[in-house]
RNA sequence: GCGCCCGUAGCUCAGUUGGACAGAGCAGCGGCCUUCUAAGCCGCAGGCCGGGGGUUCGAAUCCUCCCGGGCGCGCCA
């Protein structure tokens, strides 16, 4: 049983004995200071008014009621707070629980296997992925894993935008590179893609095609487009693979058009009277629903906008049977998110269907100061280069260690030179130390055949109690990280756990300590297991030695 | 100008549905390796939580105004 459940249950029983109606949920928290107990409740504050007693008085009475209860070694009332110190038995049960649950410790069946889709990266196939995409790739991937841990059946999906103006610009830019390779002085269009990654492809086309397309024609565009998109997608897949991110489904914009979904969705919106014509374009009636402006759905040249296609795409997701969809997107999409949500609402999709995880951008700190990356201008840091240089583990960790809503300050030089101060190594090193002791215990014959059976009562050291309390917290951390779309909480947690373990390891000897040894081995095994669980959720490796 | 996000130690950031004297890592200063890996551990120092008002028994947290930074603002995605 989780420690919180002991506290909550005991308080509810005590209130009943006192004839005080319990609130729907009894608040139980982890105090910041250890003097305030292992767990604490401020139940007396909300209840004081209804029973016409002061919080202090009510807390005192509750403490009196609870002080003899078995799960607690001490219950005290301080300034209206009710502070609990847990007895050795429930603490030992935490360790035993971790060992019994094993690789499923901290997971839940809240999602009950219901289908959930998470769409992320979805970068246009116009160039390699950059550090900015890296944040989204790591965020989305970890978020997907977190929701899977909560029992959802998760689909990772990449939306591939292989139509529209940007793709034409890509093809036009590549054609220029192709002509350049043949000796023509054709410049890459000013608003085209300037990056030199297209130059190599241009060379390739020149060799393959010779002088087949001397001028920019519809035919040239058609063929170059297909070639360019396939090549760019291959590059993006490689970049994702380097990060250890794999998608279950790839959806192409072109397919949505071919299946008639865009036209169908537009018609449905028009049937609702939400579409009007002006200046040769077709618009969505959005200001009438509280938005700041009306977006264009169909441009005056007859082609659909990104918003239009995205509404159609999300209608498709809805029909595919997902109960929830989460899109991970950058902060520059906030306006369009509202527009898409409005479109879905008009088409009777429940408001809870689509949710966004919005993240701020990665800023690079260099000698020239902060610089915004731009794929179009060819000014970017390739994701794959960085992953290769830092290692997958370090890169992924750095991308998710901050709250998504905050800017991620990525100091390239520091990240490269982190061997001594890197939290990733700090956490992984804790894991290897556990493994090392267990190996040694195996060698000396001190490792019990079954850690579940071990007597855990010798775990009375304050550092051991602190570690156990931290282990007990892991399920809550996974839950809040999943609910709040906040993978960084897992990072913080692992740093805290490792931060408790290293000092303990340095001070307290495990092997050759008589009755304490099996208990400490069980504790170490459970610490190692939770570290491994956390690292795995983040998609990092769990080395046995370093 | 309008909308959204952010402003906490020298730096990078945490801070649970408002709660008990504000936390971590790094940088700085001083210690610790004959014993399960010193990629570690221990100690010291460091803060009007951007600023003013308000709500509350209680505010870094909620409301309001101001200052500073990021992103976006009808046919790019």
**Nucleotide lying nearest to A83, CA to C1' measure:** B20
Can you give the distance from the CA of residue A319 to the C1' of nucleotide B21 in angstroms?
Answer: 56
- Helix residue ranges per DSSP H, A75-164: 88-101, 131-149
Task: Answer yes or no: is A110 within a domain.
Answer: no
**Nucleotide lying nearest to A281, CA to C1' measure:** B75
Can you give the distance from the CA of residue A159 to the C1' of nucleotide B14 in angstroms?
Answer: 34
Backbone angles phi, psi at A74, to 5 degrees: -160, 135
d(CA A299, CA A279): 9
Q: Is A238 found in the same domain as A377?
A: yes
DSSP designation for A406: S
Q: Is A524 found in the same domain as A493?
A: yes
Mark the ranges of chain A whose per-residue pLDDT is less than 50: 367-370
Domain, as residue range, for A496: 420-537
Task: Answer yes or no: is A91 within a domain.
Answer: no
**Nucleotide lying nearest to A339, CA to C1' measure:** B74
Write out the two tokens for A424: 């990733």
Pairing mode of beta strands A81-86, A72-78: antiparallel
Residue A231 β-bridge partners: none
Residue pair A461/A516 in contact by the 8 Å Cβ criterion:
no
Task: Answer yes or no: is A71 within a domain.
Answer: yes
Write down the pLDDT at residue A374.
64
**Nucleotide lying nearest to A33, CA to C1' measure:** B20
Q: Is A211 helix (H, G, I), strand (E, B) or coil?
A: coil
d(CA A73, CA A88): 8
How confident is the model over A375-407, as pLDDT tens digits? 666 667 788 888 988 889 999 999 999 989 888
DSSP designation for A25: S
* Strand B positions closer than 7 A to protein CB: 2-7, 12-17, 19-27, 35-42, 57, 70-77
Residue A359 β-bridge partners: A330
d(CA A379, CA A362): 14
CATH (domain of A403): 3.40.50.620
**Nucleotide lying nearest to A435, CA to C1' measure:** B36
Can you give the distance from the CA of residue A419 to the C1' of nucleotide B29 in angstroms?
Answer: 23
Write down the pLDDT at residue A369.
43
Q: Is A490 found in the same domain as A402?
A: no
Q: Is A294 found in the same domain as A442?
A: no
Q: What number of other Cβ atoms are within 10 A of residue A517's Cβ? A: 20
The H or E element spanning position A181 is: helix A165-181
Residue nearest to nucleotide B75 (CA to C1'): A299
Can you give the distance from the CA of residue A131 to the C1' of nucleotide B66 in angstroms?
Answer: 36
What's the number of domains chain A is made of?
4
DSSP designation for A105: T
CA atoms within 13 A on the CB side of A102: 4
Can you give the distance from the CA of residue A184 to the C1' of nucleotide B53 in angstroms?
Answer: 68
Can you give the distance from the CA of residue A32 to the C1' of nucleotide B23 in angstroms?
Answer: 9
How confident is the model over A287-329, as pLDDT tens digits? 988 888 999 999 999 999 999 999 999 999 999 999 999 999 9
Task: Answer yes or no: is A191 within a domain.
Answer: yes
Q: Is A337 found in the same domain as A384?
A: no
Task: Answer yes or no: is A465 within a domain.
Answer: yes
Residue nearest to nucleotide B23 (CA to C1'): A32
Q: Is A426 found in the same domain as A410?
A: no
d(CA A136, CA A385): 17
Q: Is A237 found in the same domain as A136?
A: yes
Write down the pLDDT at residue A367.
40
Residue pair A242/A387 in contact by the 8 Å Cβ criterion:
yes
ipTM over 0.90: yes
């Amino acid at each position: 049983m989780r420690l919180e459940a002991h506290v909550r249950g005991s308080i509810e029983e005590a209130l009943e004995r006192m004839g005080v109606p319990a609130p729907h949920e009894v608040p139980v928290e982890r105090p910041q200071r250890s003097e305030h107990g292992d767990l604490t409740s401020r139940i007396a504050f909300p209840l004081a008014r209804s029973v016409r007693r002061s919080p202090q008085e009510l807390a005192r009475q509750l403490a009196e009621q609870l002080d003899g209860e078995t799960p607690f070694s001490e219950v005290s009332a301080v300034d209206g707070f009710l502070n609990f110190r847990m007895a050795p038995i429930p603490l030992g049960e935490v360790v035993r629980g971790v060992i019994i649950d094993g690789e499923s410790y901290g997971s839940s069946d809240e999602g009950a296997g219901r289908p959930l889709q998470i769409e992320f990266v979805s970068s246009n196939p116009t160039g390699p992925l950059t550090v900015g995409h890296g944040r989204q790739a790591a965020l989305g991937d970890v978020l997907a894993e977190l929701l899977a841990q909560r029992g959802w059946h998760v689909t990772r999906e990449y939306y591939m935008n292989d139509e529209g103006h940007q793709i034409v610009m890509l093809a036009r830019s590549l054609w220029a590179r192709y002509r350049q390779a043949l000796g023509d002085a054709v410049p890459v269009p000013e608003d085209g893609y300037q990056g030199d990654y297209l130059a190599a492809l241009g060379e390739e086309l020149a060799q393959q095609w010779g002088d087949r397309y001397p001028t920019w024609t519809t035919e040239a565009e058609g063929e170059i487009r297909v070639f360019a998109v396939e090549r760019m997608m291959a590059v993006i897949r490689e970049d994702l693979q380097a990060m250890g991110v794999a998608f279950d489904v790839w959806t192409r914009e072109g397919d949505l058009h071919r299946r008639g979904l865009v036209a169908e969705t537009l018609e449905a919106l028009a049937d609702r009277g939400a579409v009007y014509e002006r200046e040769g374009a077709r618009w969505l009636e959005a200001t009438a629903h509280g938005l700041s402006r009306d977006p264009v759905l169909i441009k005056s040249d007859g082609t659909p906008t990104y918003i239009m296609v995205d509404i159609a795409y999300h209608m498709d997701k809805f029909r595919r049977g997902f109960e929830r969809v989460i899109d991970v997107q950058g902060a520059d999409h906030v306006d369009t998110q509202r527009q898409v949500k409005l479109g879905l609402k008009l088409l009777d999709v429940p408001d809870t269907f689509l949710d966004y995880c919005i993240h701020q951008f990665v800023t690079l700190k260099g000698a020239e100061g902060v610089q915004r990356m731009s794929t179009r201008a060819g000014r970017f840091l390739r994701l794959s280069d960085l992953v290769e240089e830092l290692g997958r583990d370090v890169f992924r960790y750095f991308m998710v260690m901050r709250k998504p809503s905050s800017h991620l300050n990525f100091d390239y030089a520091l990240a490269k030179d982190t061997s001594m101060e890197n939290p990733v190594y700090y956490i992984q090193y804790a894991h290897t130390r556990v493994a090392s002791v267990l190996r040694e215990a195996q060698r000396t014959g001190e490792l019990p055949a079954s850690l579940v059976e071990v007597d855990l009562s010798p775990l009375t050291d304050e550092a051991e109690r602190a570690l156990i309390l931290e282990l007990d917290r892991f399920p809550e951390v996974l839950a809040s990280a999943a609910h709040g779309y906040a993978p960084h909480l897992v990072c913080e947690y692992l740093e805290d756990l490792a931060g408790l373990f290293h000092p303990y390891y340095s001070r307290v000897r495990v092997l050759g300590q008589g009755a304490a040894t099996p208990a400490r081995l069980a504790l170490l095994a459970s610490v190692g297991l939770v570290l491994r669980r956390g690292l795995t959720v983040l998609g990092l490796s769990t080395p046995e030695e370093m």
